[in-house]
Structure formats: structure tokens, C-alpha cells
Amino acid sequence: MADRKTISPIKDSLKQAAVKAAAQSLAHAEGEQSAKEQDHVQGQQPGQDPLKWYAIRAFKRKVMKIKEDFEKQNFKTYMAMRTVEFEDRGQRKYKDVEIIPQLLFVCCSEAALTAYKSTHDQDFMIYKNKYKDAKGNLVATPASIPEAQMKAFIFITSTGNGKDIEYFGDIMPHFEEGSRVRVTDGIYKGATGFVKRIKRDRKLLVAIEGVAVVAISNIPMSYLQKI
């Protein structure tokens, strides 16, 4: 018969294995629950097409109508805005204006986007990826925006009422290539982008490839960390 000294380590080993298995099972369950909660927050049901960010350019000043239509379907939208000051009959007033006219970002499924496009074809264009298929035919599909790019763009354009934002169109300026950096202090703390020198001014550029490039100036070098 095995003595107690032999049995005790075996029991301890089995106990540790059981605890480890239980912890792994709990972590797996929590992961599944977290994924379900994330889907619920984004308005996405299991089995549905994934929700992604897309960029569209509205025509004929239809951007607000398009924005409202998507929001009625519980899809998130984003427009880069800035607050400007003006005088009206001797009174100082403020209003929000678009930083990038008629540009709207929509977080929805590709199916929902193309379905809306089919009934509002003359109202807007979708930014697309273009490539050739196996037969050499040119194919164009809605270009989804990586979550990291969208978060950086929203953060930069929504901080400080957008007053420091400069818009460069949809192509990264061909200036001196700079380092990728993170802002470590100030109102833009946490923002990431590329530092480039444009007209003797150091700027932090943030881009959504093929859609928009924006820049902010006057960030102290001590606030920038190379990444």
C-alpha cells in the first residue's frame, strides 16, 4: 500500500490539473460571451455579414439624407466636422461644417451597402478596390476600411473640434518620408501616424488609404515617440 507521502503529491498534481482545466474552460466561455456581446453592441447577429467601415462620396448635397437613412437602419456613421465661429447681425454664432465635404463613413454589411446603392445610385459613389480576376476582367468591390485606420482617423478629426485639421485629398503627399510615431502627450495623446515635413512645417499625417489624408501641425517633438 502506498504511503501518504506518495499519495499526497499525486493528489496535488491531479488537483492542479483540474484547476487548470476549469480555468481554460472558463476562459473559453468568457471569450465566446465577449464575442456575442461585441456582436450585440455593433448590432450584428450571429450568421449575418460582418459589419465593416466603408467610405462613400455623396452627390448633390445628399450626404445628410444618406446619413439619416443608414442610421435609421441602426448602422453607425461618421462625418469629420469642425466648429467655426461667424457673426450674424452683430451676434457671434457657431456652426459645424464638414472638414471633407460630402464624405461619409458607414459601418454596415457589404450587402446592406450595395442594396442601398441599388436604389440610390445617382446619390453617391462607393470607394472601391479594383483588381483583375482569373480571366483578366476588371472587378470592383466596396473597399472596407481597417478598424485601426478608422479609429485613428476618427480620433484625430474629432479632437479639438477639428480646428487644427488640414485636408490633403485622397493621396499621401509626396514629401520627405517620415517615421511612424505615436503622440504621447497633449490633446492628441494616443494618436498614431506619419511625421512629414511640408513647407518647412512638421505635420502628423493620418490616412485612410485611397480615401482621405488629414494632417495636424504644431505637435512638439517631445510629444512624439517613434513606433
Q: Are 102 and 61 in contact (CB under 8 A)?
A: yes
Last residue of some domain: 96, 122, 145?
145
Whole-angstrom distance, CA of residue 138 vs CA of residue 53: 23
Whether pTM > 0.75 for this model: the answer is no
Closest among 227, 181, 224, 217 to 197, alpha carbons compared: 217
Same domain, 65 and 136: yes
CATH number of the domain where residue 158 is located: 2.30.30.140
CA 81 to chain CA mean position, Å? 16
Q: Are 210 and 227 in contact (CB under 8 A)?
A: no
Last residue of some domain: 89, 123, 145?
145
Q: What confidence tens digit (pLDDT) does each residue in 37-83 have?
A: 344 334 455 556 789 999 999 998 899 999 999 999 999 999 999 88
Last residue of some domain: 145, 174, 208?
145
Q: What confidence tens digit (pLDDT) does each residue in 126-179 have?
A: 999 988 888 888 989 999 999 999 999 999 998 877 777 888 887 666 554 577
Q: How many structural domains does the chain have? A: 2
In a domain, 7, yes or no: no
CATH number of the domain where residue 68 is located: 3.30.70.940
Where on the phi/psi map is residue 56: left (φ > 0), alpha (ψ -120 to 50), or beta? beta
Q: Residue for cell digits 515635413? A: 197
Q: Residue 66, SS3?
A: helix
Same domain, 104 and 152: no
Same domain, 134 and 210: no
In a domain, 78, yes or no: yes
Query: Domain range spanning residue 182?
Result: 146-227
Whole-angstrom distance, CA of residue 150 vs CA of residue 79: 12
